[in-house]
Structure 1
Amino acid sequence: MLSQRCLITKDVVIPRLLAQFHAESQSTLQPIDLTQAENHLLRDEVLEIVHRELANSFLSKARQSLAGFLNAEFVPARPLEPSHLVLTSGASEAISILAHHLCNAGDGVLLAAPYWSGLDLALETRSQARAVPVDIPLQDIFSLQSIQYYEQALAASSIPIRAILVTNPHNPLGQCYPEPVLEALLQFCAHHGLHYISDEVYALCSFDHIQGAEPFRSITALTKAKNPCPTTHAVYSLSKDFGCSGLRLVCPLLAGNPDIVMGSALIANASVSSLTTAVVPKLLTHWKLHGYINENRRRLDKAYRSVQQFLEARGLDHVPVSAGLCVFARLGSRGTVQEETILLQELAKVNLKLIPGSFYHFCQTGWFRIVFSAPSWEMEVALGRLRIALDSVEEKLPGSAEQL
């Protein structure tokens, strides 16, 4: 179930390193290690400026605080230990590392479309795996009907499929997966011998705008076995939930697979800054932490309402949002290639940047992702520019009142 790269790391690289640097000694003398090319001659002076804790204990404290935070928020079936976490410098980096260990070059990973296009790079750059979009009607993505589309994509694939990647809450659709669907996806993976990667970077960005909206449920909370499943992996980041994209810290949750934990730690070694590991424990143990989380949800809800009102006032279709930072909307009444092309031209004229759904592997034209978590004044200006662009499109389309 592991890639050839991961097997080489597990069976060759790690044993070689252990044999080279951790050989057992029968001597009772204090060991002297002259294998590491380190300069100790100026260390005392430097330590007066940069305390040893900044390089060492903060990393441990970051893992401890993250484990405690995730246990409280995710309520995993088995409590997470600091040793289950590997700290990386970003969610894309974490997914890239997972793909490196799970996929051989040319292997595929199934993703329900639409999905954030950055996942293509995360999967393909290091591991040379391939993202395989699964075209699912919007009304079926969060239902049990979606499983049949995964089955069809798996059967039709011309390359080996090693995993599925599920973003929950979803980007760009802004909803959480119902628990029965998550369970069904896990069963699908178990039946076909696939790994399950859960991208949970929007975990705490859910809000109560839609009555009866599904709450977020981490995949770690659905692993009922006493020992976590070695083929289920989750990725969590602070960047979305706390608005701190500059603090590059992500942790793949790998409780059930020590081989991948060790291999991932080797790749991610020293990728997280000391400043970040110093700040994170303070943030996650701050007495206002839950107040920050609730305030973030309130502000996201308010920001989404303003965009929702704009879309509804113009009669534009969109996927109702209950989580995340963006809304997926059809910006036009016709849904034609011509309409989308003209809209992109008009958006460029008013200097408003939106990404069409085709960039997210969505098969229908006219759909765009609108991020609504920008500052409120900027969103007000953006919606004004979008109004101008949409009005211009209506004037230029054949058959419009301006053309008659």
Structure 2
Amino acid sequence: MLSKRGVDIQNATKVTDIGFAKCLADPYNAESNPNGIINAGTSENTISCDIVAEKLSQVEPLFNKDVDILRYHDYTGLTSFKNTLCTFLTKHAKAHKQLDQNNLVVLNGCGSCLAALSLVLSDPGDEWLTMTPYSPVVKESVEGIPLTDIFYGDLCSQTSGENGKPFQLTVDMLEDALGQATQKDINIRGLFLINPHNPLGDIYSKQLLMDCLHFAKRHGLHVIVDEIYMLSVFDEEAEFTSVLSLEDLPDPDRTHFTWSFSKDFSISGLRCGVIYSWNKEILSAVAGVAYWFALPTVVQVTLNSMLCDEEWVAQTYLPTNRKRLRNAHEIMSKGLTRLGIPHLARSAGLYIWADFRKNFCLLQTGLINTKVATGVYEAEMEMFYELIDAGVYITPGQGFYCKEPGWFRIVFALPRDVQDQVLHRIGTVIEMKRKKSMKPKEIMCNSLLTK
């Protein structure tokens, strides 16, 4: 018999779980299973795995070399690996001074890093502030073991001002969301920032990042800046500012950085995440729970060997990966344009935020009432399943808690032939919808609007 919490966990099926499970059950393979489901919904970089696999294959056999790796070690990470990581992050995050390995913790994935920080920074029932749409991993990480939750405000696709852009974050929006939480007597412990953003692909300017950090300081909030896509900025003209590079942090004791190998190094299966914090008390508390999130020593030794080859990292892997991402993004963006699907063309990440709303009845309009929203969310899920039936999984916006039904995230970090299949299968579903007569569609729209 499950506990109440066990029942809640068992019943907490998310749309991302559904899509991923269907891909695992019937995976696409051009030769052995060409009618299988293509996974363009899970944020993985599959176009640079070959470079990393070749490099890791050159690592000397570990167990013939050092039996010490079979023993217990510091659960926050091997000292040698932490030193290597500090050298790596100092260089590639353009830190203003050499990072200190005593401020760094290694855990088994970025989700574990978020969970560990939430666990030591908040009590059950507390909530963390962020803005929708946002990565569901954030909510999953703070809900599970820490028993906290997310309080969010909503970004919208409508632009305002001469330089406005869809889903643009402002500090005024954060202030409004925090004010709403205060009115509801919700204790907000901190702010989550995802930079570069998932699913939007936005890169926060230095000014916006500093404004958000000042906002958090004014209200005594911790800030966790997740930079898991830090090295997946593929536009050569784009400027990325890591929180590690800021010399004048408004509140260093409440500012924390997370990163992982998963996205930037195409190795999500090795589960290695990093926390960097300037607060010794918090680091001590994280060390106290690291036993449950520890990374196997063999993985640390393997990744340490890879990172120690600084020439390979800087001259081979990173520039090649960025070029491949840039080309893959261009292919997907042009393909979506040919299909008549508007989308945000951004400079970072592994995905494109695409607007399928014209395939529903509320083209370019806001939500009028809850019944309308519910009906269009149902239409969004209907299209999700139609795409699955056509052999492609892309993630609907409700998987990212987006308030506007009709947006989907499409992962473009796929080989060219697989991208072609993704676009073909999406186009098949759109064509099927276009062939439906206009009169029934108009009737459906009017029905939704008058209920």
Shorter-chain TM-score category?
0.7 to 0.9
Equivalent of 1:370 in 390, 403, 410: 410
Deviation at 1:59, TM superposition (A): 1.6
Q: Which has the larger radius of gyration?
A: 1
Structure-2 separation of matches of 1:94 and 1:145 = 24
Query: What is residue 379 of structure 1 aligned with on the other side?
Result: 419
Structure-1 separation of matches of 2:64 and 2:320 = 40
Query: What is residue 115 of structure 2 aligned with on the other side?
Result: 96
Deviation at 1:399, TM superposition (A): 3.8
Residues 1:315 and 2:340 are matched in the alignment? yes
Structure-2 separation of matches of 1:166 and 1:367 = 21
Equivalent residues of 2:357, 2:405 under 8 A apart: no
3-state secondary structure, aligned to 1:193: coil
Aligned 1:267-286 pairs, distance under 5 A: 267-269=289-291, 271-286=294-309
Query: What is residue 172 of structure 2 aligned with on the other side?
Result: 148
Query: What is residue 231 of structure 1 aligned with on the other side?
Result: 254
**Number of residues of Structure 1 aligned to a counterpart in Structure 2:** 351
Query: What is residue 52 of structure 1 aligned with on the other side?
Result: 68
Structure 2: gaps of 5 or more residues: 1-62, 362-375, 444-451
Equivalent residues of 1:136, 1:146 under 8 A apart: no
Query: What is residue 35 of structure 1 aligned with on the other side?
Result: none
Aligned residues with identical type, % of pairs: 28
Residues 1:240 and 2:259 are matched in the alignment? no
Deviation at 1:342, TM superposition (A): 4.2
Equivalent residues of 1:343, 1:390 under 8 A apart: no
* RMSD after superposition: 2.5
Structure-2 separation of matches of 1:231 and 1:279 = 32
Aligned 1:4-403 pairs, distance under 5 A: 51-53=67-69, 55=71, 56=73, 59-138=78-157, 139=159, 146-157=170-181, 158=184, 159-208=186-235, 213=238, 215-224=239-248, 229-254=252-277, 256-269=278-291, 271-286=294-309, 287-290=311-314, 291-336=316-361, 337=376, 340-396=380-436, 398-399=438-439
Equivalent residues of 2:339, 2:427 under 8 A apart: no
Deviation at 1:334, TM superposition (A): 4.6
Deviation at 1:265, TM superposition (A): 1.7
Equivalent residues of 1:142, 1:178 under 8 A apart: no
3-state secondary structure, aligned to 1:87: strand
3-state secondary structure, aligned to 2:248: coil
Label 1:316 to 1:203 Cα distance change in 2 as closer, same or farther (>3 A): same
TM-score using structure 1 length? 0.81
Richer in helix (by share): 2
Equivalent residues of 1:77, 1:224 under 8 A apart: no
Q: Which stretch has the larger CA shift, 389-398 or 286-295?
A: 389-398
Structure 1: gaps of 5 or more residues: 1-46
Structure-2 separation of matches of 1:68 and 1:304 = 30
TM-score using structure 2 length? 0.73
